[in-house]
Structure formats: C-alpha cells, structure tokens
Amino acid sequence: MNEKQITLPVQTISVSYDVDVLVVGGGASGIAAAISAAEGGANTLLIEQRGFLGGMGTVALVPAFCPFTDKEKPIIRGIGMKLMERMKQACNADYQAEYRETLDWVPIDPEVLKRVYDDALIESGVSLLYHTFVYDIQLSDDRSRVEGVIIANKSGRSFIRCRYLIDATGDGDMAALAGVPFQKGGDQGELQPGSMCYLLANVNRMKFKQYLQETGDTGQLHQTVERAIAEGALPEGRKSISGLAWVNDYLVGVNFGHVFGIDGTKAEDLTRGAIEGRKLAERQVEFFRKYVPGFEQAHLVASGEQVGIRETRRIQGDYVLTVDDFISARSFPDDIARNAYYIDIHLANHKSEMTFNHLSPGQSHGVPYRILLPVGIENVWVAGRSASSDRAVQGSLRVMPNCFAMGQAAGTAAAMAAHTGATSREISVPQLQQLLLKQDVWLGENFSDAEG
C-alpha cells in the first residue's frame, strides 16, 4: 500500500436536499442560471463556497463590468443587464448620475452588488446554501447522468440529490469530476496570469484628471508605468493599468499587473497567488503614492479574497466555438446569446505579448447552445468561462456579461427539461430561443418569431 494514501471508511451520509436543478457556483453564470431556472418553475438550489455571490466581481474585486454592447447597441440584455441596472439604482445619487446611461465598463461597488444578488435570488425563489464546497459527485450506473453531489460544510458531509445540474464553477469542476474531457491553457500548458485587484480610498479624482490633462498620459497611465518600471519601482510586466474604475471621487477599484504561473484548479497555486498578489498590491500602492498625483494619501481598504482567475479548463462540448467563428461573426441555428467582447489573452509571463482581436462596431457572433453541453453527460450544462471553445475565443467569452447570458440560457433550458423529464439534448431549442426572447435576451437582428 502506498504510504501516502489512506483508505477512508465506508460512511452513510444524509440527503440534505432533493431538487430539480442544482447550480454549483455563485458567479455571474450561476446567478443567472439559478434565477432563470427558478423563474421557470424548477425547484432550484444554488451552492457557493463563499459567504456571498458575485464570483470574480466580488470575490476577486474585479473593478468593473465588461461591455454589454457592441459599441453601437446593447447585445447582452436579459438578467445580466437588469442586475447591473439594479446595482446602479442601489448606489448613491452621484454614482447614479454619472453612470446612468453607461453600459460598458460600469464600476462595481462590491458591497452593494452582494446585497443586490442576495435579494434577486431570494425574490426569484432560489434556495441558497453558502459556505459549502462540493468534493465529489454521484453518477448513474451508466455514467450518463449526475444523480447528485457530496458536499462539505460546517454542518458536516451530506448528499444533494438533483435531476439536473448546472456547472457554474468557472473551472468546469463538476464536469471534470464527471469525467468530461477538457483542455487547459495553451499548447505548452501555459495559462493566462491572475490579477490581484483591490480598492483604494482617500484618493483625489480631480487632481488625477488634471495630471492626465497636463501630461497627456492616458487613463491607463502607460507613460507613468513605463517610467516606474525603468526606475525599478514596479516589476517587469504589463506596461499599463488594465483598469481604474471610479466608484466615486475618493474610491477607485484597481486592476493592475499580473501574478504568473497560477492554475486556478490547484489549491497550492491559489495560496501562492494570494500571498504574491497581496505583496504586489502593496508595491503598486507605493507606486501610486509616489508617481501619480491624486494618490498621495491612497489607502488600501480591501484586496481580493483570491487572485482573479482568467482561464482554467475548457470542457469538450457538442460544439467547440472557434476563433474563425469569432472573426467571421458567425451565427448558428441554436444561438442562445451574442458576443462582441474582444479576444483578450493576457501574457503568460512577463516577457510575452498580449493578444487582442476586435470585431468592428455593430458586429457580434452567435453563442450556440451546444457549447454548454458536455459530451457524454445528459443532464448537465456548463455555463461560463469553461464552456466549450478554443483558447482564443475563451479569451473573449470569459467575461461577466457573457457568463450572465450563458447562465440564463442554461437555467431556462434546465427548467424546460425539469417540466418534461427531457435530457439537455432533447429540449426544443426553438422553444428555448422563444423563451429567451421573452426574457429580453437579444439573439441578433435577423432573429424573429418566425424562426422559432
């Protein structure tokens, strides 16, 4: 026997929940999936390992929502846009006045957003279970269906029985446990870096704006960052700030720099990422105080609970969305969303280059239902950044607006299946599309009721 292994005793555990639809993961895709499944009439439970919802927008303090538009019109509508607008309405009057008409790069107030998400799910009839981690699943004898999951939390270990499961973990954790094939990273296994985002208080936005006007530097502080790197105040790496999202004139969310070599599916890497990320954030705050007028008295009030993760697994689905689909702005008969966010692949190390590929304003491509369907499993949907795509498209598809859209489609499909006992592949896609249209989802200019 391997001395580094032990055999656990057989144990009988209780069934703590028995539901139609189980959603694992409380990020953007899980939130939308749970709301749409519950509003579709399914008995729905969402479990989340933290004590709040929001995924990268709250756990990792990603400071702003990525664009909901194609630079001409909103294309991600439905639940995601409604929740963003609800957050705006819950913020103070100054915030509302500044961002009322904004749909792209809207700053996130994380504490407001946590409450908005709580309220929205409870109002929809979703059951919530926080502080809970799934560590194994139970498959049917023929391994074609997930019958439930084994959870661990402060109450102990128990079993959740479900008829349908939506994997909204962002990492394809449930699909991987079910044996679904997946890819991870690039050809050499390289992964996009993580970022430790944070909130700075006691800053002066007006003074900062004046500095930009006087120097001609951009809001990404490209010139200032390059000078700081040359003088040794910042490490080699990204030569501009990814994002400054001003919640108000004295509070700003920051997405700046990278933590390299982090695999978000490994606890050891997440641990190292958290430690290195906090050290990097400290160095960056010192840079802001020394180099950037308006930040002289900046105070770090919060850093992400974990380093922000851009990519891990991409599951093998019934269709793999490709970079050619993106570039040609392709549509599909089974479209359940549209996407226009640019391909955004961050450097894998401090010497490599970043990749950007933009569609023209007004262009978008279709997101087919089949990319949510993991091969070999009949009652599971994978929504979010681990949906079935090649690596380039994952660099576009991974952002929160798209995750909302995929989650909404998965939840709606799961509710349809729950009503009839159908599998994920047996539901009527035209009927799904019609339901999404009624939920204010946009499927393209050429989509009409006649096509359904």
2 pLDDT band (50/70/90 cuts)? Answer: low
Q: What percent of the chain has pLDDT over 70?
A: 96
41 pLDDT band (50/70/90 cuts)? Answer: very high
- How long a stretch of residues is the chain? 452
Give residue 228's pLDDT. 96
pLDDT in tens, 192-240: 999 999 999 999 999 999 999 999 998 899 999 999 999 999 998 778 8
pLDDT in tens, 27-37: 999 999 999 99
**How are beta strands 355-357 and 380-382 bridged, if at all?**
unpaired
Q: Is the pLDDT of residue 450 over 50?
A: no
264 pLDDT band (50/70/90 cuts)? Answer: very high
Q: Is the pLDDT of residue 188 over 90?
A: no
Q: What is the mean pLDDT of residues 159-178?
A: 98
Q: What is the mean pLDDT of residues 36-50?
A: 98
pLDDT in tens, 358-371: 899 999 999 999 99
The rounded distance, in Å, linking the Cα atoms of 82 and 25 is 20
**How are beta strands 380-382 and 156-167 bridged, if at all?**
parallel
Q: What is the mean pLDDT of residues 252-269?
A: 95
CB-hemisphere CA count at 13 Å for 94? 7
DSSP string, 42-100: --EEEE-SSSS--GGGTTS---EEPPSBSSSSB-S-HHHHHHHHHHHHHS-HHHHHHHT
Q: Are 304 and 197 in contact (CB under 8 A)?
A: yes
Quote helix, strand, coil % in the chain, to nearest 5. 35, 25, 45
**Phi, psi angle pair for 336, to nearest 5°:** -125, 0
Letter string b/e over residues 95-130, b meaning 16 or more CB atoms within 10 A of that residue's CB: beebbeeebeebbbbbebbbebbeebbeebebbbbe
Give residue 237's pLDDT. 77
Q: Is the pLDDT of residue 438 over 50?
A: yes
